[in-house]
Structure 1
Amino acid sequence: MSENRQIAQEIIEAVGGKDNIVSAAHCATRLRLMVKDKEKIDQVKVENIEKVKGAFFNSGQFQIILGTGTVNRIYEEVQKLGVTGMTKGDQAKEAAKSGNAFQRAVRSFGDVFVPIIPVLVATGLFMGLRGLVMQEQILALFGLTPDDISQNFILFTQVLTDTAFIFLPALIAWSTFRVFGGTPIIGLVLGLMLVSPSLPNAWAVAGGDAEPIKFLGFIPVLGYQGSVIPAFIAGIVGAKLEQAIRKRVPEVLDLILTPFLTLLVMITLALFVIGPVFHSVEEVILAGTTAVLELPFGLSGLLIGFVHQIIVVTGVHHIFNLLEIQLLEKFGNNPFNAIITCSIAAQGGAALAVGLKTKSKKLKALALPSSLSAFLGITEPAIFGVNLRFVKPFIMGLIGGATGAFLASLFGLKATGMAITVIPGTLLYLNGQILLYLFVNLVSIGVAFALTWLFGYTEKMNEQTEKGSNVA
């Protein structure tokens, strides 16, 4: 029997056998199993299988971290052993039906915003690069000053940095229709209507250069450039309305009447009801977020830096996407990124300490790559494969993250984008903040590493874990 076939067999047995597995799927690094009874899973046995770098139950799936390349081979062997395969997307849809209402809502929220994030990452990188080339010190290397920069060049950079946020409602409405069962192109057109040039521009209204149109003397109507929540709510309502209309319209008229009625009703609701109401809600959320981030004496960093990775463990951290998008749209910067970067780096520091201190070859082979993954912004292998397994390293990582984030808040670090952190995140701090950014990350890693080395890990803890004992 090949090694991968043996590993696949051991995994199946450890999760309760083939009869307990509903389906199997995989992503880039994890084997995802939907099971009938998660109580039959032997977590410790799974984690001690060769090549397994950690395992956890999340989003209705038992996810086993195997690593790039390896997961494909193990998945093939699992299928050959009689387990039903399923695409990750189809399995995610089935898994989405599990959990309480709040968990399902947060998953849907994440499904809407995750596809949009890459273009916002690109926008943030464009902002960072513009900040770099516009610095006087950099221009001086070429014998230039800011006054020498062509207006055409500045216009070009504005196309790169502003477009995604100008048409953000279109992106959100498109994605929301897609997630909630509507026709994405109808959502896209609805979103574009919300930023129509025929309406007073939202930024011009905010700057006092334009006035909203008043319908019935009290309903303000304007464009929603850069707005998030109105487009999100309009997308949900619109998708459900489209489904209801489609059920009632004769098939022969569906192509004409369904999009016509959906867009007519929804743009009316969006401009006269959803927009005014939820734009006010959006302003309240933004004000609350800003108030927390502006707490004095670095308290915001201390608080968020400590709890962020705890929230990541619960799986509801996608809700922060809304806050970061709002910050970028409103202020053109994102102080939240620097804070959570420290919490991510610190978990990598804790895993690194475990990897360097342990005498176990298996644990070392798991912890060291996991720490590198965290330094690249992905903490799941470090958290679920190493730190939470022993509990104390995770806590030391929380303390390290809070320490670095405290300094990031004191220094007023602000990213030009979102969604990339730690080493890749340096690209968001090229506008004169790079040295302080590196410093707070090194502090986070150093504190977490030192605390874990001194107090967070012993070989006895690893021996107890392998035997299935509680090491907390």
Structure 2
Amino acid sequence: MSKYTDPSKELLKHIGGKENIAAVTHCVTRMRFVLNDPSKADVKSIESIGLVKGTFTQAGQFQVIIGNEVSSFYNEFEKIAGVEGASKEEAKIAAKKNQNWLQRMMGHLAEIFTPLIPALVVGGLILGFRNIIGDIKLLDDGTKTIIEVSQFWAGVHSFLWLIGEAIFHFLPVGITWSVAKKMGASQILGIVLGITLVSPQLLNAYAVAGAKEIPTWDFGFAHIKMIGYQAQVIPAILAGLTLGFLETRLRKVVPNSISMIVVPFFALVPAVLIAHTILGPIGWQIGSGISHVVYSSLTSSFGWLFAAIFGFAYAPLVITGLHHMTNAIDLQLMSELGGTNLWPMIALSNIAQGSAVLAMIFINRKNEEEKQVSIPATISCYLGVTEPAMFGINLKYGFPFLAAMIGSMVAGVVSVASGVMANSIGVGGLPGILSIQAKHMAMFGVCMIIAIVVPFLLTNIFAKTGMNKFSLKK
């Protein structure tokens, strides 16, 4: 009998038994259950199990935090429960029955953008580094930039744009690929569709505003504008959805004997035509409208109020999964304005949550068992991954979560009031400063200090004034 046997038996009992498990899998630190009846799970009893470090429900899945031992625990639980583990994809599908329409929509959006995040993070770091060596006058008594005095760094600056351009200007290719993959369409057709949106044949999206004449395809009875959609998000999403819809529907009606010829042709050609005649222009207008509203809200005389609301509410949005919509808004702001003033607040929210856990480490410094959760949670939070901190510690006690929300709000207001802009989405938390535009790095550093100090102090104050009885997690 291993050390996981008894905890596995307890978990099975308190989760509602084998018959209550629709699917189960695990990730790096958590068991992920899809339950037939989530109300049968006895959360308090589960969290009292020795190896369990916390629980939470997200995206229709009941998740039990185990830690680094999760793989061994999972294997023992699988034997004890007599259930076969599901793949992560199968678990996601099963979990959708526990989600409302908004949660499902946000889940779809997350699945589109999640595969793109590594590239976007790299792109953000590259743009930040290029700004430092190419825009800040650091040499010759503040009169010259690094690339003006060094041919080597001038070459590096030019070379890195090769990657930056590939990531951001050709972003629609990644989006249409991801949408095609998500919908079960041919991924190569998604890539081809994306390329048709950014082809060198087309007038570059960044040149449209200043163009004296826009070239067109002349069909005699109709003209179609040859406009590219470099860095555009919504046109690419709409085009990808159209391709996915056409291909998956055609597969159902076209005989297998000719499907290899008929389906790709009658899916791709109409999708490209619809993208350039209808969806592209409409998507461009929608995207421009969204970015205008967000940017105007953040730069208006009431920008501080928008920042306060967003900074305070972002962490709760993470719990619901609604935070995924900010990726599309950030990318749209980047394409329209050359940067985003929304993303810095997200990085500050991550820092604030980590600082609240840091305060709990100080408050409960004699609790060795809790340190197994709180210390790794703080580190991961400062590096941009907030879930272990929020679900393992802050929501468990409640008042640290509130302290972090207030700290995020204050830091967000200062960030927006100071006009801080990021080049792009980047690594959340402390490394986020590398994605901030060079001229705003110093001010963002001040905001980071606020996001560290305010939650730490408030968490300690709340703990000493009776708010430690307040819990958001029932």
Deviation at 1:200, TM superposition (A): 1.8
Residue of structure 2 aligned with 1:250, choices 255, 268, 282: 255
CA separation in 1, counterparts of 2:461 and 2:389?
Answer: 19
Does 1:301 find its partner at 2:300? no
Aligned Cα root-mean-square deviation (Å): 2.6
Alignment correspondent of 1:76: 75
Deviates more, 1:119-128 or 1:131-140: 131-140
In 2, Cα distance between equivalents of 1:397 and 1:334: 23
Return the match for 2:360 from 354, 365, 376: 354
Maintained 8 Å contact 1:246/1:258 = yes
Q: CA deviation at 1:460?
A: 9.7
- Alpha-carbon distance in structure 1 between the residues aligned to 2:91 and 2:139: 50
Structure 1 residue identity aligned to 2:316: I
When normalised by structure 1's length, the TM-score is 0.91
Structure 1 residue 333 displacement after superposition: 1.9
For 1:73, the aligned partner's letter is S
Q: Is 1:112 the counterpart of 2:112 in the alignment? A: yes
Using the TM superposition, give the Cα deviation of residue 417 of structure 1 relative to its aligned residue in structure 2, in angstroms.
2.4
Q: Cα distance, 1:6 vs. partner? A: 2.5
Distance 1:172 1:140 in 2: 45
* CA contact 2:462–2:468 (8 Å) conserved in 1: no
The aligned counterpart of 1:272 is 277
State the partner residue of 2:338.
332
* Bigger mean CA deviation after superposition, 386-395 or 181-190: 386-395
Q: How many angstroms apart in 2 are the aligned matches of 1:267 and 1:471?
A: 49
Corresponding residue to 2:202 among 199, 203, 220: 199
Structure 1 counterpart of 2:457, which letter?
Answer: A
Indicate conservation of the 8 Å contact 1:139/1:145, yes or no.
no
Check whether the contact 1:166–1:226 (CA below 8 A) recurs between aligned residues: yes
Report if aligned partners of 1:221, 1:272 keep a CA contact under 8 Å in 2: no
* Residue 334 (structure 1) shift: 2.1
2:129 pairs with 1:129:
yes
* Paired residue total: 465
Partners in 1 of 2:251 and 2:397 — Cα distance? 53
2:141 & 2:84 partners in 1: Cα distance?
A: 63
What 5-or-longer segments of structure 2 have no aligned partner? Answer: none
User: 414-423 vs 35-44, which deviates more?
Assistant: 414-423
Q: Distance in 2 between matches of 1:416 and 1:267?
A: 30
Alpha carbons of 1:458 and 1:367: their partners in 2 closer, same or farther (altered >3 Å)?
farther
Task: Indicate the residue corresponding to 1:453 in structure 2.
Answer: 460
What letter corresponds to residue 197 of structure 1 in structure 2?
P
Q: CA deviation at 1:62?
A: 0.7
- The alpha-carbon deviation at position 107 of structure 1 amounts to 0.5
> Matched residues in 1 for 2:210 and 2:94: separation?
46
- Contact map agreement 1:201 1:210 (CA 8 A) in 2: no
- Partner residue, 2:19: 19
Unaligned runs of 5+ in 1: none
Closer, same or farther in 2 for the Cα pair 1:92/1:304, shift >3 Å?
same
1:185-227 Cα distance to aligned partner (Å, 9 max, x none): 1111111111122222211113336525387678644111111
Residue 149 of structure 1 and its aligned partner are, at CA, apart by 5.1
In structure 2, distance between residues paired with 1:210 and 1:125:
36
CA distance in 1, matches of 2:473, 2:391: 15
Provide the C-alpha distance between the structure 2 equivalents of 1:198 and 1:308, rounded to a whole number of angstroms. Answer: 41
Equivalent of 2:243 in 218, 231, 238: 238
Q: 1:460 to 1:447 in 2, by over 3 A?
A: closer
| Deviation string, structure 1 residues 229-273 (Cα, Å, up to 9, x no partner) | 111111112111111212222222111111111111111111111
Equivalent position SS for 2:138: helix
Q: Which moved more, 1:427-436 or 1:322-331?
A: 427-436
Matches within 5 A, 1:403-422: 403-422=410-429
Cα distance, 1:154 vs structure 2: 4.2
SS of aligned partner of 2:342: helix
Task: Please give the residue correspondences for 1:85-96 in structure 2 after superposition, counting only pairs within 5 Å.
Answer: 85-96=85-96
Query: TM-score with structure 2 length normalisation?
Result: 0.91
Q: Deviations over 1:266-314 (max 9, x none)?
A: 1111111111122111111111111122133633332211111111111
